[in-house]
Structure 1
Amino acid sequence: MDADYREYHIRLSIDSRLEQVRILSGALRGIGQELALSEDKLGQLELILVEAVNNVIEHAYQLQGGNDVHVRVEYSPQQMHLVISDHGHAMPEELHAGFNGMPDPEGLPEGGWGMGLIQALADSTHYIRDAQGNHLYVSKQLA
C-alpha cells in the first residue's frame, strides 16, 4: 500500500434534535478540511449530511428528541461514504426506490426536497431497513 494512502472510519452520534445537526455539520466540515477536500466536494457532502439527518429527525423520529442518530464517515482518497442510521420509522419506499430526479414543485405542499437533493448530489445512494434500524448509504467520488 502507498505510504500516502490513508483510510479513515469515523463514527459520530447526536440526539434527535434539530439544533444538534449544526454540530454534526461542523464536525464533517472539520474532517473534510483535515483531509484537504475541495470546498466544492465538502459543501456537497455537508449538504447531503444535513438533509439526511434532518429527514431522520423530522420523519423517522417525528421531531422527538431522546433518540440516537448515528453517522459513519468512511474516507479513502477516491471516495467518501456516509452512512446515516436511526431506529425510527422506515423511509417510505417512494422516496428511495426508483428515483428519477427532483420532485415536482407543484406536488409538494411543503418539504419533500431532501432526498431529491441527496440523490442529485451523491454518486450513489442505497437505503435499507434491517433489525438494527434504518440505514442510508451515500457515496461521493472525490478523485
Structure 2
Amino acid sequence: MAHWQITIDSNFSAIREASELLQEYCAQCQISPELGGHLELIMVEALNNVIEHAYQGEDGHKIDIELIDETQKTIISITDYSQTAPSLMGNQKKELPEEDLLPEGGWGLPLIQALADSIDYSLNSKNNLLILTKNKINSH
C-alpha cells in the first residue's frame, strides 16, 4: 500500500496541483487511462465542492488530499477544516443526462455518486473528512 499526499489552498487554480499528483500516482501505479480519468473527475468535483461549499469560495484555507493505492482499489481522502458541512453528501441521486446535454453546474455530486464505488463522510469539531473509493476491477 502506497500513499501520495498534498496540501492545497482553497482556490480553484490550486486544484491543478492535486491533478498533477494524481497523474503521477496513476503513472507509478500503472492505472489505466480510463480509470485515471474517472479518479480525476471524482477528485476534481469533490475539491470544487469543498472550495465552493465548505469554504464559500474563500482562498487561504487548507485542503489535505491523500491518495492511497491498495491492491483492488484507489482511495482518495480529502480533509477540510471548515466548520461547514459541504452540500456534497446529499442523498438525492440524479440520473446523468447524455454528456452533450450536461447543464453547467449542479452535477458534481451526481458525477461523484455515479463514478465512485463508495463515499464515506465524517464531520467532527476539527475537520470534515471525505473518503472516495474507486475499485480497480469491475468498476463502472
Equivalences for residues 39-78 of structure 1 within 5 A: 39-78=33-72
2:68 maps to a residue whose letter is E
Q: 2:85 aligns with which of 87, 90, 93?
A: 90
**CA positional deviation for 1:131:** 2.4
Runs of 4+, deviation exceeding 3 Å: 101-104
Is structure 2 residue 120 aligned with structure 1 residue 126?
A: yes
User: Which residue of structure 2 aligns with residue 111 of structure 1?
Assistant: 105
Greater CA radius of gyration, 1 or 2?
Answer: 1
Counterpart contact for 1:102–1:117, Cα < 8 Å:
no
TM-score (norm 2): 0.85
Q: Per the alignment, in what secondary structure is the counterpart of residue 10 of structure 1?
A: strand
**CA positional deviation for 1:97:** 4.5
Counterpart contact for 2:4–2:21, Cα < 8 Å:
no
Is structure 2 residue 6 aligned with structure 1 residue 12?
A: yes
Residues 37-87 of structure 1: CA distance to partner in whole angstroms, max 9, x if unpaired? Answer: 000100000111100111111111111111001111111121011111101
Give the Cα separation in 1 of the matches to 2:125 and 2:105.
29
Unaligned runs of 5+ in 1: 1-6
Give the Cα separation in 2 of the matches to 1:8 and 1:62.
32
User: Which residue of structure 2 aligns with residue 100 of structure 1?
Assistant: 93
User: Which residue of structure 2 aligns with residue 4 of structure 1?
Assistant: none
**CA positional deviation for 1:11:** 1.7
User: Which residue of structure 1 aligns with residue 24 of structure 2?
Assistant: 30
Q: Per the alignment, in what secondary structure is the counterpart of residue 14 of structure 2?
A: helix
TM-score (norm 1): 0.83
Equivalent pairs counted in the alignment come to 131
Give the Cα separation in 2 of the matches to 1:69 and 1:47.
17
CA RMSD of aligned residues (A): 1.9
2:65 maps to a residue whose letter is V
